[in-house]
Structure 1
Amino acid sequence: MTTLQHTHARRRPLGLTLLAVGALALAGCGAPAATPASTATADIHSGHSMPSASAGFNSADGMFAQMMIPHHEQAVQMSEIVLAKPGLDPRVVALAQQIRAAQAPEIATLKDWLAAWGQPESMPGHGAGEAMSGMMKDEDLGQLRSAEPAKASKLFLTQMIAHHEGAVEMARTETQEGQDGGAVGMASAIVASQSREIEEMKAILAQP
């Protein structure tokens, strides 16, 4: 057997052992153990490398995922509403496409993590979107649907700025209080990317 084959032979049992330990930790989970660093895996939903969930999640990680799922779902919904309109500002079209492309795969990843942690997709006793900063009400979405393209572009930007600010707030809380490496990593990426998008949207609104 070659040196490379020996290396692979040693790695396989270690990987299986780590998976078994993670499964046992989740099965007997009350208070999770100390968090190992999450490993990077290919995310099947987006095609990009995304940290996988670890067995050492805490309540902040669970709440982050449970709250960010409906928050992201509404951002995707808002993007699809505005993208269905003809004659939009091309900059708004590009932003809406960018938001939808980024957040749809993250929704799937968050759901996968909650399943791995043995947690429900929504917080018990809370409806989707309750107590979350930046969420639009039904009437807000109705205004976006009925708006003419020129007005819809500005309304979308105004609503999405508030929506992003809420997401950044939640993500910052996760970076400070979360334990799972994958969840904290996603939260850090949300803070960075959505903060940039907020500045871009404000710049568009400031121009005639």
Structure 2
Amino acid sequence: LQCETDFVAKNEEFIALTQLILDAAIDHKPETLEDLLNIQLPNGTVSQLIMDKIGATGEKMELGYFEHISAPSVVSYIHMGNKLATLVGFNKEEVAEDIAKDVAMQVAAMNPISVTPDTIPAEVKEKELEIAREKAREAGKPENLLDRIAEGALQKFYKESTLLQQEYVKDNKLTIDQYLKQNNKDLTVTVFKRVSLNA
């Protein structure tokens, strides 16, 4: 739930409304933002409650983001200032809290675009390859090496942009996948979401 000022964001009634919306989302499991806004609560729909709060405060409010994930275990992380949040789903029900939080913080800090290279859209991969080819061409590299150079650049992109291949921020000798495996050989991330109110 977004508002215009910190004064309203820190107001107890605003915080209570956000908690009410969160509880409604957990109870009703809506699939879309529209579904969430239409959930009927004792005092009206979520949308009506937001409109009522706008009327009471005189400040624009909007439920700008709605993300949900399903996994055997889900952890959330909210960064200081409440402007950045992550959800991370794991393939196991039992995940040590510190490990789960570390991975959720990794998503917040490093902003991966995908869990693995397999889940990156083909058009994103092709764009990265084309950028790498063009850079190599501008650097005067021979045409017959451009594809190989581009493939190397794509592998680097995967290491920077896919969660499981990223260097673990607390120990750059490990990837996130290695960090998970040293704690439980079968543990992995299945899905994540990252929401930033700044971008």
Same fold (TM > 0.5): no
Q: TM-score range by the shorter chain?
A: under 0.3
- Give the TM-score of the pair, scaled to structure 2: 0.24
Which structure carries more relative contact order (alpha carbon 8 Å, separation 6+)? 1
Which one has a larger percent helix, Structure 1 or Structure 2? 1
